[in-house]
């Protein structure tokens, strides 16, 4: 069972959150799932199924993504799509839904949002899981590569299946066929009068990325006092040396790997993710069967 819950985010933006599983009792551990750039809450469906066994599980469509609203017309894009806005939205969801203290599980950009929130509001975050997100700066060259990549998208796609094939096989970034990657991006396409297009604005995604891609985030990571699990996908974007340094910097850091998985591990490999995450979560607070 999946239930939609509407929440008011920072600067009044309407946010869609999704509760997975049957209603949990008031004493059950709470989990907030934060997707990455271009993702959506329903990418967590496979992971949320097992998390919901004895937990209250909420997944958020972050602003500009999924069913959540884009920032209002005329808003300063640097502010309305910046780091502060994403962190404030997560804070609003936790407070409005009474989730604190909550375990935050974030993927990529959502993981960065999670650790910035944990550093600033330790009263809200009981534990943190970081899925395949780097603490180092990616730099201007990385942003230019994304701009070039967005220009290569052959929009509109004639069908959702065509989008799945392009992102999984024909995208110049794909070194070998990757059906999971294709499925991830096909899931963020919707049908329009002239074909299938992304549910988000590529310009807004670049704006959102611009607000964090040039900076390193080690200082804020070091301020995360709660137990934190750094999870590396072996074929993802977080290298082993950097992941282990992140664990060292964290006051209460732990490490896990997901074999044979790429960057979108939570969507493509939910069961191996369970193997990596569950021992950490069980140590935090045993879940009643």
Q: What is the DSSP string of 153-200?
A: --PSBSSHHHHHHIIIIISTT-SS--HHHHHHHHTTEEEETTEEEESS
Model pLDDT for residues 32-59, shown as the tens digit of each residue: 999 999 999 999 999 999 999 999 999 9
Q: Rounded to an integer, what distance in angstroms lies between the CA atom of residue 227 and that of residue 47?
A: 20
Tokens of 232: 């590396």
pTM, two decimals, is 0.96
Q: Read off the pLDDT of each residue in 25-31 and give the average, rounded to a whole number.
A: 87
94: tokens are 């936790």
Largest distance between two CA atoms of the chain: 52
**SS3 of the chain: helix, strand, coil, percent, to 5:** 40, 20, 35
**Dist. CA 216–CA 91, nearest whole Å:** 22
Q: What is the pLDDT of residue 23?
A: 64
Pair 85, 15: CB distance under 8 Å: no
Whether domain 2-136+217-284 has CATH 2.60.260.20: the reply is no
Q: How many CB atoms lie within 10 A of CB 76?
A: 10
The pLDDT tens digits for 56-76 are 999 999 999 999 998 766 677
Per-residue pLDDT averaged across 147-155, rounded? 97
Q: Could you give the 3-state DSSP secondary structure of residue 71? A: coil
> Nearest 5°: phi and psi at 284?
-65, -50
Is pLDDT of 288 > 60? no
pLDDT for 286 beyond 60: no
Decide if pLDDT at 219 tops 60: yes
**Domain boundaries in the chain?**
2-136+217-284, 142-204
pLDDT at 277: 98
Question: What is the residue whose two structure tokens read 């070998």?
Answer: 176
- H or E stretch at 258: strand 253-262
226 forms beta bridges with none
* Mean pLDDT to the nearest integer, 68-96: 88
Q: How far is CA 158 from CA 25, 155, 198, in A?
A: 46, 8, 13
């Amino acid at each position: 069972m999946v239930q939609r819950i509407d929440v008011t985010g920072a600067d009044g933006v309407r946010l869609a959150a999704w509760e997975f599983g049957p209603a949990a009792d008031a004493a059950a551990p709470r989990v907030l799932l934060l997707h990455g750039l271009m993702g959506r809450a329903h990418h967590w469906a496979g992971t949320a199924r097992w998390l919901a066994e004895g937990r209250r599980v909420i997944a958020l469509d972050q602003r500009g993504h999924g069913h959540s609203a884009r920032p209002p017309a005329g808003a300063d894009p640097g502010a309305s799509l910046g780091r502060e806005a994403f962190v404030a939205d997560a804070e609003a969801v936790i407070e409005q839904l009474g989730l604190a203290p909550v375990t935050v599980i974030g993927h990529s950009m959502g993981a960065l949002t999670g650790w910035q929130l944990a550093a600033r509001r330790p009263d809200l975050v009981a534990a943190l899981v970081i899925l395949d997100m780097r603490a180092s700066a990616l730099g201007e060259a990385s942003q230019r590569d994304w701009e070039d990549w967005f220009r290569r998208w052959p929009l509109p796609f004639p069908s959702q299946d065509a989008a799945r094939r392009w992102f999984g096989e024909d995208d110049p970034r794909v070194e070998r066929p990757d059906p999971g990657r294709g499925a991830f991006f096909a899931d963020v396409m919707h049908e329009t009068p002239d074909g299938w297009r992304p549910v988000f604005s590529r310009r807004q995604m670049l704006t959102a990325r611009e607000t964090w891609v040039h900076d390193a985030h080690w200082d804020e990571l070091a301020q995360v006092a709660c137990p934190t699990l750094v999870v590396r996908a072996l074929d993802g974007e977080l290298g082993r040396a950097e992941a282990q340094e992140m664990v060292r910097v964290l006051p209460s850091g732990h490490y896990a790997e997901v074999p044979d998985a790429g960057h979108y591990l939570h969507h493509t490999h939910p069961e191996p993710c369970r193997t990596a995450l569950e021992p950490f979560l069980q140590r935090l607070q045993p879940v009643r069967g």
